[in-house]
Structure 1
Amino acid sequence: MTESFGLLLAFSGAGTGDVRFALSEGADALRWRVLRESAGVLRGASDPFLVRDAGGTIRCLTAGDDGVRVWTTDDLEAWSGPRTLPVGVTGVRAPKAYPDGDRHRLIFTAGGRAYGVHTADFGTATAPAPLPVDRPGADVALLHANGAEHCFHSDGGTLVQARHDGGSFTEVARGFGEGEAAVVFAGLGGRTWYLLADTGTGLRPYVTRVLGTGAWQPASPDGMPAGARRGGVVAVTEDEFKRLEAHA
């Protein structure tokens, strides 16, 4: 992949049961334009999360009763799938995947607990293992940055940040926002991090420049897609950005 030029957001439309897409206003991760023709591209799907592999292929992971549903695209125009990735439990919610060597680490919630598996091909996965998070709530998000793994989850509707230290997570901050941690990502340039929290009625953004301290500041939600829920973000190249911009 060449240098990142913008960001692509996948989100669940309120009450629609479909996944839609939005493009950032340039490098601005707080302002998004919904792609007109994205309505109904991925039908009957919820809790989307986007991940790009080393070869450039983008996958959209969505929730499924019998596992994780996986959609795939090489050009951001045509999507194949979904196919089901069995993960050893049923009733999967909020699946997310992160590069981990030559595999991906996939985390999700089922039955009120957070689990992790590894997959090399998004067709098969290792046996599920509970994540060492005391009260994961309904959603967990991870972020690898500055040589550490950071975990974000909700405790009674309150956002919590923890740091992976050895075999457990140590709490860093609590109560800096409300909702469930839909997605956490680095802005273009790598000097700012963003957390998009699902409040039930929309995505609420939080911003920080000092990730390890949990010093998140709320940002205006006015630039977020109306009624957006859940979500996933990947960076796109200039060529991809311009092709997507034609549909904004």
Structure 2
Amino acid sequence: MQHKQIAGYLYAYFSGDESRADSQQIRFAMSRDGLHWLELNGGEPILESHINDCGVRDPFLIRLQHGGFALIGTDLNTNAPAYADANGAPQWRRMETHGRTDILVWKSDDLVHWNGPRTLPVARDLNAGNAWAPKAVFVPERGQYLITWSSTTAADNYAKQRIYGCWTTDFTSCSPAFLLIDDAHSRIDTLIAPHNGRWLLIVKDEVDKRIDVKTADHLFDEDANAPETSALSREFTVVPQRALAEMTWVEGPALVHRADGSTILFVDEYARSKRGYIPLISNDPTRADSFRALDAAEYEMPRFARHGSLLPITEEEWGALASAYVRA
């Protein structure tokens, strides 16, 4: 989508209001500037999953190359009985080792009418314990979408989360999974995005609970025979960002390039102060120390907004969503 066509932004997320049984279902919000958000459908869920774990987290929206949209998400409800201890408390370790290894998929022609959820078995070949926080990006030279997510596997007794990928043309079927990032410690919540002819790689470090920004000219190494057998490009280097380095206990990066050329990066503060999504803004995310964390007075997020994604939309799409979901 060209910048001149951007009329606003759509945000898909799940709720952090743990008092609600439907908190782990998908909400939408809209914004003209990407900072001040209007909850759609009165803040009630718009997409719900009643299959498998009967919940959906970490939604990611993508505009398809030949029209329409897909939304993918983690097939997980942390309150599912299968993950509870004898006292009924959720056990994250069990979610990592005995969780769902499919992701959930919805598709739409207009962002209002959706089909799904269906399951997509991205980690079927990994003997995995989970498949978390899927995201997708179109790779022009491949002519396909790269889906990324994190999984533990039985090969090392589920010792750490690695980042895996697979290819799809339609979000209905996918290639076998292949390894993308295998660091000495767990990595989750990876976001890959193009920016001015380069690639951005934004990923959470599970040791210090911070978000790293990396950049490279190429997504994969040029000497790789096939992306299915190689990790991401060795060119990727960290872009120091002081504002992000000062933030700990954050995850779920969500990125959007705005019509004015700036980039907003949202990170989800899920512990300590538990502020939820906090926006940072940059005129060039590939430049060191370019991000500035906004003050609370500079933005207004939806209530209890958690890990999600942002999508630029047209005026026509804005109008359709407003007609369907804005309450008088």
TM-score, length of structure 2 as denominator length: 0.70
Question: Cα distance, 1:223 vs. partner?
Answer: 0.9
Out of 127-136 and 142-151, give the one that drifted further: 127-136
Q: Determine whether 1:74 maps to 2:115.
A: no
What is the distance in 2 between the residues matched to 1:40 and 1:181? Answer: 20
Structure-2 residue corresponding to 1:236 = 313
What do residues 25-79 of structure 1 show as CA deviations (whole Å, max 9, x unaligned)?
x2x1111111025623222211100001123311110112131110111122221
Runs of 4+ in 1 over 4 A off after TM superposition: none
What is the distance in 2 between the residues matched to 1:66 and 1:150? Answer: 26
Structure-2 residue corresponding to 1:208 = 282
What is the distance in 1 between the residues matched to 2:186 and 2:38? Answer: 31
Structure-1 residue corresponding to 2:199 = 149
> Aligned ranges for residues 1-248 of structure 1 at < 5 Å?
3-14=5-16, 15=18, 16-24=23-31, 26=32, 28-36=33-41, 39-43=44-48, 44-64=55-75, 65-88=100-123, 89=126, 90=128, 91-101=130-140, 102-111=143-152, 112-132=161-181, 134=183, 137-155=187-205, 156-164=208-216, 166=221, 167-168=233-234, 169-177=236-244, 178=247, 179-189=250-260, 191-200=261-270, 201=274, 202-214=276-288, 215-221=290-296, 222-246=299-323, 247-248=325-326
What is the distance in 2 between the residues matched to 1:46 and 1:241? Answer: 24
Indicate the SS of the match to 1:239. Answer: helix
1:220 partner amino acid: D
What is the distance in 1 between the residues matched to 2:12 and 2:251? Answer: 16
Indicate the SS of the match to 1:47. Answer: strand
What is the distance in 2 between the residues matched to 1:194 and 1:232? Answer: 11
Question: Cα distance, 1:138 vs. partner?
Answer: 2.5
Indicate the SS of the match to 2:66. Answer: coil
What is the distance in 1 between the residues matched to 2:131 and 2:171? Answer: 15
What is the distance in 1 between the residues matched to 2:167 and 2:197? Answer: 20
Question: Cα distance, 1:193 vs. partner?
Answer: 0.6
What is the distance in 2 between the residues matched to 1:68 and 1:186? Answer: 26
2:286 partner amino acid: G
Indicate the SS of the match to 1:242. Answer: helix
Question: Cα distance, 1:243 vs. partner?
Answer: 2.4
Indicate the SS of the match to 1:107. Answer: strand
Q: Which has the higher helix share?
A: 2
1:157–1:174 Cα change, 3 Å: farther
1:55 partner amino acid: H
1:147 partner amino acid: G
What is the distance in 2 between the residues matched to 1:132 and 1:12? Answer: 26
Q: Where in structure 1 are there 5+ consecutive unaligned residues?
A: none
Question: Cα distance, 1:174 vs. partner?
Answer: 5.0
2:238 partner amino acid: E
Q: Which has more radius of gyration? A: 2
What is the distance in 2 between the residues matched to 1:183 and 1:172? Answer: 17
What is the distance in 2 between the residues matched to 1:20 and 1:220? Answer: 24
What is the distance in 2 between the residues matched to 1:9 and 1:34? Answer: 9
Q: Where in structure 2 are there 5+ consecutive unaligned residues?
A: 49-54, 76-99, 153-160, 222-232
Q: Is the 8 A contact 1:160 1:175 kept in 2?
A: no
Seq. identity, %: 27
TM-score, length of structure 1 as denominator length: 0.91
Question: Cα distance, 1:176 vs. partner?
Answer: 2.7
Q: Which has the higher strand share?
A: 1
